[in-house]
Amino acid sequence: MKQYIKDIRAFNRFYTDIIGLLDQHILNSRYSLPEVRIMYEMYYNGAGTANEITKAIRIDKGYLSRILRRFEKQKLISKKRSTTDGRSVMLALTVKGCKAFEKLDVASHDQVKEILSHLPKEKHDELVSHMNAIKTILEYESHQS
């Protein structure tokens, strides 16, 4: 078991270095990884509640709340009471928020394209296949708990 843990941690360090997850601001932006993930959820999954974001990305509610307050101050998000449940507040990216995220999305795409450009084309399928295998194994494990 010790060796598995050591090997997995080594892979995690390797991969976080490759995609720059330890940079204070991801993709040469002014946003942190959690901030970008929140924008991603809001952009691709539409308006939702803070609870839905918390569940989707497993983020601490207090941390999410602080980020959402910052986003609201920066006019990146809007808040509106739910029409079906007055206790719920629906969150959505504003036009400014969408534009900010779209720049990040393009930068993320370009980052992956750059990584792939250093590999022979025949390795692309192999890499994605292994990534999908890791995802499948970890999803299986999370559904067993």
Question: What are the pLDDT digits (tens) for 19-72?
Answer: 887 777 888 899 999 999 999 999 999 879 999 999 999 999 999 999 999 999
Residue 2: phi, psi to the nearest 5? -60, -40
| Average pLDDT value for residue range 115-131 | 95
Closest CA to 89 of 44, 42, 56, 34: 42
For residue range 34-45, what is the model confidence (pLDDT) as tens digits?
999 999 999 999
Q: Which domain holds residue 41?
A: 2-144
Closest CA to 100 of 24, 20, 2, 27: 27
Dihedral of CA atoms 112, 113, 117, 118 in degrees, nearest 10, equals -20
Counting the structural domains of the chain, the total is: 1
Q: CATH code at 85?
A: 1.10.10.10
Residue 43: C-alpha distances to residues 20, 28, 95, 97, 127 (Å): 22, 20, 11, 9, 27
Q: Tell me the torsion sign for CA atoms 144, 128, 108, 4.
A: positive
pLDDT at residue 119 greater than cutoff 70:
yes
Neighbours of 23 (CB within 10 A): 13
Query: If pLDDT is split at 50, 70 and 90, which confidence band does 138 have?
Result: very high
Q: Provide the whole-model pTM.
A: 0.86
